[in-house]
Structure 1
């Protein structure tokens, strides 16, 4: 009786699986090639945390539109681990543009919106920003630790 080796079959299976994973890798790398996502976060405002409006506004999150058309942000939410939530009113972000959400008070413009808080949102030692669609579905998230030294590039 002849005993067949399963090594060639196992090698073929592993090779096929590895090939399919390699093909899938670029798709995940281009996750944000066309749409709304979290960009850069300044979670630790430079200087002393004195709760001044200047210091609060130096804490911010960039939301970027990599798409080819403008997007309406009404109903989108920006949320931290504690549950602090900023909900966008009627606001569009043009294709290829960014809107920066500042923690403190100020006058909203095309590129800057203000949470109007009197205290900080993002924890310096570690936190997670979440961008949530109006449907409640998580669109993007970005987390950090104190090792990021105050600023985090999310993508």
Structure 2
């Protein structure tokens, strides 16, 4: 009888150990898959002082460095003076793709969006571009001093 009780205790401890290992593996795999699916959308480049007219040449390049497409409908691009561009509803930035947000006027496409402004937004002597998601969370920012030569790489 004592021997059977000892065997049952050992089997119970083995089952608990297997359960702990299985749970640990489940958590680690879950964290790894969650991290790989998190969107990583960044401001990658700002052409704040292009040759010619600022309003027709200015743009901000937004890049999806993540592995999943991102619905950017309702996201906002802003400067320090609170000029706000709101991404159109249903705009999807595909994984690995970029989109230029132009200050001036034009026809929106998958790779080019237009703010439609008649005046420049980005200050040539220094400014910051801010990117917010649809919930108002700051996703990324990029600052410059004006000494970069008219454009700045942010990442």
Q: In which range does the TM-score fall when normalised by the shorter chain?
A: 0.7 to 0.9
Partner in structure 2 of residue 57 of structure 1: 56
Corresponding residue of 2:70: 71
Task: Report Cα offsets for 1:51-73 as digits up to 9, x if no partner.
Answer: xxxx4231000000011111110
TM-score, normalised to structure 2, is: 0.72
1:44 to 36, 43, 49: 49
- Runs of 4+ aligned residues of structure 1 deviating over 3 Å after TM superposition are none
Gaps of 5+ in 1: 1-32, 50-54
In structure 2, the partner of 1:26 is none
Q: Report how many residues are paired.
A: 117
Instruction: Identify, as 1 or 2, the structure richer in helix.
Output: 2
Q: Does 1:35 align with 2:40?
A: yes
Q: Give the Å deviation of 1:34.
A: 5.4
> How is 1:76-155 mapped onto 2 (pairs within 5 angstroms)?
76-90=75-89, 91-155=91-155
| TM-score normalised according to structure 1 size | 0.72
The structure whose Rg is larger is 2
Other structure's SS at 2:147 match? helix
